[in-house]
Amino acid sequence: MPDDHLPSHDAAAVGSAPPARPLDPIDAAILRLLRADGRASVRSVAEQVHISRANAYARINRLIEDGVIRGFSVRVDHERAGQAASAYITLKIVQDSWRSVRAKLQALPGAAHIALVSGDFDVLLLVHTADNRALRELVLTRIQAMPEVLSTRTLLVFEEQDLLPGRPPAHR
């Protein structure tokens, strides 16, 4: 990693962010660049959006402090990482139990994304597990055992593709 990267920030430590303010074209360009390459150095970002390094650094820090940038992460090929089974699990939950259910789901091994949604179910959970046996155990013994969970439906993922800004999808 280049030496002029920003200090790491923990998204959970951001706390309550200030109210959203509109992004100017330079901030929008910075976000596009960092979405495509979260490891881009401040120097590289500054050069690509035609601003000084100090200005780029200040803008990125402001985007972090405002909660616009919630963190920097790595995209993982789950199959190559030993997590060959992926599934979306829909849950119907007891009314007003979202916060406690969310906390329990976050603690599950392999939980990758959790969303409170509208429609025929209340929660959408994405999980990655080693195999279908581990997925079955997760659903039947962990998720369905939660008293706030009324029902689940498991949707196996056969193939998935990250959508990356500015890059055509890769074909396997």
CA pair distance 120, 113, nearest whole angstrom: 19
151 three-state secondary structure: strand
Question: Which residue spans of the chain are classified as CATH 1.10.10.10?
Answer: 1-15+23-75
Q: Are 29 and 63 in contact (CB under 8 A)?
A: no
What does pTM read for this prediction? 0.67
Report, at the CATH architecture level, how domain 85-156 is classified. Answer: 2-Layer Sandwich (3.30)
φ/ψ (deg, to 5) at 73: -140, 180
Q: Which contacts of 131-137 are long-range, i.e. CB under 8 A and separated by 24 or more positions? A: 131/84, 131/85, 132/85, 132/156, 134/85, 134/110, 135/85, 135/87
Options 1.10.230.10, 2.40.37.10, 1.10.10.10, 3.40.640.10; CATH for 1-15+23-75 is: 1.10.10.10
Q: Each residue's pLDDT tens digit in the chain (172 positions)?
A: 343 444 444 444 444 556 777 899 999 999 999 988 889 999 999 999 999 999 999 999 999 999 999 888 777 777 877 888 999 999 999 999 999 999 999 999 999 999 999 999 999 999 999 999 999 999 999 999 999 999 999 999 998 877 766 555 555 4
Q: Are 127 and 93 in contact (CB under 8 A)?
A: no
Question: What contacts 166, CB < 8 A, 6 or more positions away?
Answer: 32, 36
| Nearest C-alpha neighbor of 122 from the set 147, 85, 96 | 96
